[in-house]
Amino acid sequence: MARQRRDEDRLPPLFALVHPGLESVAADEITRDLGGMVRKTDRGVVIFRVPVLDESVLLLRTVEDVFLFAWGTDALTYRAVDLKSIQEWTESEVDWREMVRLHHMVHRKPKGRGTYRLVTQMIGEHVYRRMDAGKAMAKGLGGKLPPGWVPASENAGFEVWLNIRGSTAFCGVRLSERTMRHRAYKTEHMPASLRPSLAAAMVRLAGATPGQIVLDPMCGAGTLLAEQIELAKLRREGRITTWGGDLEPNALRAAVTNLQKVGPTPLAQWDATRLPLPSAAVDRVISNPPFGKQLSTPEEIGPLYQKMIRESNRVLKPGGKAVYLVSEPELLRSAIEPYGWYPERMLKVRILGQPAMIGVWQKPFA
C-alpha cells in the first residue's frame, strides 16, 4: 500500500484522446473500471491519474489512445514564438529518462536496438506548419532518448506525440497500440461501420447487466454487439445475451465474421421494422440506424425511424432502455414521442464530419 502511494505521487498524469463528445463516458470508464482519478477534461481529451501504472490502462475501450503526459499548454499564440516554446518545454520540462522507465512498466523493454517515432497532429490556423512544430519537438528531444535508439517510421517501440488544437497542445508518450482503436476482432468493415471506441461508449451508456438481453436490430458489421460481449468478458460478472440482425446480406456476412472471434451471437437477416421476436423480449436496444445522408435519403429516414421505434417499443421490456446514434435527432424524438420514453441522456458527437446525437431513452415501466 505504501509503495502504491509513493508511485501515485511520482507518476505523471496520463491523458487519453477521445472521440469529441464522449469525454464524460470515457471519464466514467477511467474512474470506475480503471480506478483512475480524472483531473480535467477538454474537448477530445481526458487527463487523469492512476494509482499504479501497468498494462491495465490498455484495457480502456472508450478511448482512442492513452499517453503519459509530458507537457501541456493552453496558451499557444499561433505565432512563430510557439516553436521556441515547444522546443523549450520538450527540452526542460520533462524527465525523458523517467518517461522511458514508465513506458517499460506497460511495455516490456524491447530486445535489440530501441526504436522511436515522433508524431505531430495539428488543427487550427497557425503561422507555422505541422512539420515545423514537429521539428521543434525533435530539437527539444535531441540527446534525451537513450543513445543507440534509431528512428522508425512504423512499429516503433517508443512514440512521442505532439497534439496541437488551436491554442492547446499536449505532448506525451504513447502507451496504447494500434489495437486500442482498431480492435483485433474487426477484420470486416462496412462503409457506415462505427468506430469501436464509439460503440463501446454506447454500450456503456446502455448499462446492461448480467443475465440481460441486448438487441441491435440494424447491426451492420456487428461492432455494437462485439463491444457488448467484450465488455461483459472484461468485467467477468456474468454473460449478457446479444441478438442482432440486418436487412443486408453483406452486412450480416461481415457481422458473422467479426463476431465469431468474440462470442456466440444469434444473427438473422430481418427487417428491423418487423422483427421476428416476441413482445417484451429484450432489456436493451442499442443501434445506429442509417444516416440520412449516408445510406438513405433524408425523406426516407423519418418514416424509417417511426417504424423502427414502434417495433423497438414492442420488443423492449417495460423499464428497458434504448441507445440510438442518429443523424436526425428531432425526427427520432418525434418518432419516440407517442410511446412516452424518457430521455435520460443526450450526447452531441460528429460522425464523419456530420453532427449526430447519441440518446439514451427509457421505456416507462407501465
Residues found near ligand SAM in the complex (CB under 6 A):
190, 192-194, 199, 218-221, 223-224, 246-248, 251, 271-273, 288-290, 295
Q: Minimal distance in Å, beta carbon 268 to ligand SAM? A: 10
Q: Minimal distance in Å, beta carbon 329 to ligand SAM? A: 15
Nearest CB to ligand SAM, comparing residues 145 and 199: 199
Nearest CB to ligand SAM, comparing residues 157 and 290: 290
Nearest CB to ligand SAM, comparing residues 61 and 126: 61
Nearest CB to ligand SAM, comparing residues 4 and 250: 250
Q: Minimal distance in Å, beta carbon 220 to ligand SAM? A: 3
Nearest CB to ligand SAM, comparing residues 232 and 295: 295
Nearest CB to ligand SAM, comparing residues 96 and 185: 185
Query: What string of H, E and C letters represents the secondary structure of the chain?
Result: CHHHHHHHHHCCCEEEECCCCCHHHHHHHHHHCCCCEEEEEECCEEEEECCCCCHHHHHCCCCCEEEEEEEEECCCCCCCHHHHHHHHHHHHCCCHHHHHHHHHHHCCCCCCCCEEEEEEEEECCCCCCHHHHHHHHHHHHCCCCCCCCEECCCCCCEEEEEEEECCEEEEEEECCCHHHHCCCCCCCCCCCCCCHHHHHHHHHHHCCCCCCEEEECCCCCCHHHHHHHHHHHHHCCCCCEEEEEECCHHHHHHHHHHHHCCCCCCEEECECCECCCCCCCEEEEEECCCCCCCCCCHHHHHHHHHHHHHHHHHHEEEEEEEEEEECCHHHHHHHHHHHCCEEEEEEEEEECCEEEEEEEEECCCC
Q: Minimal distance in Å, beta carbon 309 to ligand SAM? A: 12
The closest residue (CB) to ligand SAM is 220
- Half-sphere exposure for 187 (CA within 13 Å, toward CB): 10
Dist. CA 291–CA 346, nearest whole Å: 17
Q: Minimal distance in Å, beta carbon 198 to ligand SAM? A: 9
Q: Minimal distance in Å, beta carbon 23 to ligand SAM? A: 21
Q: Minimal distance in Å, beta carbon 193 to ligand SAM? A: 3
Q: Minimal distance in Å, beta carbon 234 to ligand SAM? A: 19
Nearest CB to ligand SAM, comparing residues 137 and 221: 221
Nearest CB to ligand SAM, comparing residues 109 and 350: 350
Q: Are 357 and 343 spatial neighbours (Cβ–Cβ below 8 Å)?
A: no
